[in-house]
Amino acid sequence: MATLVLHHQTSPAQDAEALHQAFKGWGSDGKAIIAILGHRNVHQRQEIRKAYEEIYQENLIKRLESEISGDFERAVYRWMLEPADRDAVLINVAIKNGPKEYHVIAEISSVLSAKELLAVRSAYHDRYKRSMEEDVAAHTTGHLRQLLVGLVSSYRYEGDEINVKLAQTEANILHESIKEKKANHEEVIRILTTRSKTQLVATFNRYRDEHGISITKKLVDQSSDDFVKVLHTVIRCINDPKKYYEKVLRNAIKKFGTDEDGLTRVIVTRAEKDLKDIKEIYYKRNSVHLEDDVSKEISGDYKKFILTLLGKQD
């Protein structure tokens, strides 16, 4: 859970006043914004939003959007939203950006618990006055549509029970479908969008034991069409989400021209959940601390803010 705490106990009203002060004059005081918001947990941030609106009759998030810009603004904006609302925004942006970002829809809907995903669907209704399912369906076609709509509308069972015989049967179905490439997509979609995560992990393990290769490695060998890419994301997120996030961060940092959207998404969404574990996996995999790699790739207030969320204050 969150390690972000107040260093000096202040009230939401005091924080709101300090932020208002930071907005005065030419250019806002990025350092002050980071010092306050980067050290407040999700509950405290929502209290600051309420206090700011009560005192100044102004929406704090809109004020922040007008005061700061670029990657810094996007990161602070997403950090200030409640988690379900933030995920709704991320999914909406991914839908609008098309196939290259469909993995974000798969990532969010596969990692969240059933109740968390239900809250995201509700937040999406409130924000966009449409359902998430209808927006996903309107922008996709064929098997990709079936898979993504199935993922965002699922409500998986979350018990620990495993049906060993079912795991064997469905590992075989997955194997046959991947082997034949285009055969039986409906069955793959049914399995991945309805089974519990515990059952699916058992199925993926069975696949590896039977065929001597993980299902994700087998998929990498396939044609990299949009359906297979989303399939790959779903399986990785269900199998080992922390390892998946480490790879997203590694790819975001190592690619030519840093992928700030990927970097921001993972750090902002996981900072109050499992970022500490993801950082450890990153160090084991890369023999360098995530903070040190991030420091070399980004700059300015955006860098200071991201490093603050990573627990390294400059």
State the Cα torsion 45-50-55-59 to the nearest 10°.
90
pTM strictly above 0.85: yes
Each residue's pLDDT, cut to its tens digit, for the chain (314 residues) gives: 444 444 457 899 999 999 999 998 767 899 999 999 999 999 999 999 999 999 999 999 999 999 999 999 999 999 999 999 999 999 999 999 999 999 999 999 999 999 999 999 999 999 999 999 999 999 999 999 999 999 999 999 999 999 999 999 999 999 998 877 655 789 999 999 999 999 999 999 999 999 999 999 888 766 678 999 999 999 999 999 999 999 999 999 987 678 999 999 999 999 999 999 999 999 999 999 999 999 999 999 999 999 999 996 54
Would you list which residues are annotated within the binding site?
A: 23, 25, 27, 67, 253, 255, 257, 297
Would you list which residues are annotated within the binding site for Ca(2+)?
A: 23, 25, 27, 67, 253, 255, 257, 297
Query: 241-309: which CATH number, 1.20.1050.10, 1.10.220.10, 2.40.30.10, 1.10.287.540?
Result: 1.10.220.10
Count other Cβ atoms within 10 Å, centred on residue 4: 18
Superfamily of domain 164-239: Annexin (1.10.220.10)
50, 40 Cβ separation under 8 angstroms: no
| H-only helix segments in the chain | 12-22, 30-37, 42-56, 60-67, 70-80, 83-97, 102-111, 114-128, 132-139, 142-152, 164-180, 185-194, 197-211, 215-220, 226-239, 241-254, 260-270, 275-286, 290-297, 300-309
Q: Where are the domains of the chain?
A: 12-68, 83-152, 164-239, 241-309
Q: Check residue 142 and give left, alpha or beta (phi > 0: left; psi -120 to 50: alpha).
A: left
Q: Which CATH class is domain 12-68?
A: mainly alpha
Pick from 213, 214, 202, 217: nearest CA to 169: 202
Q: Which residue has the tokens 């999406």?
A: 124
Fold of 83-152: Annexin V; domain 1 (1.10.220)
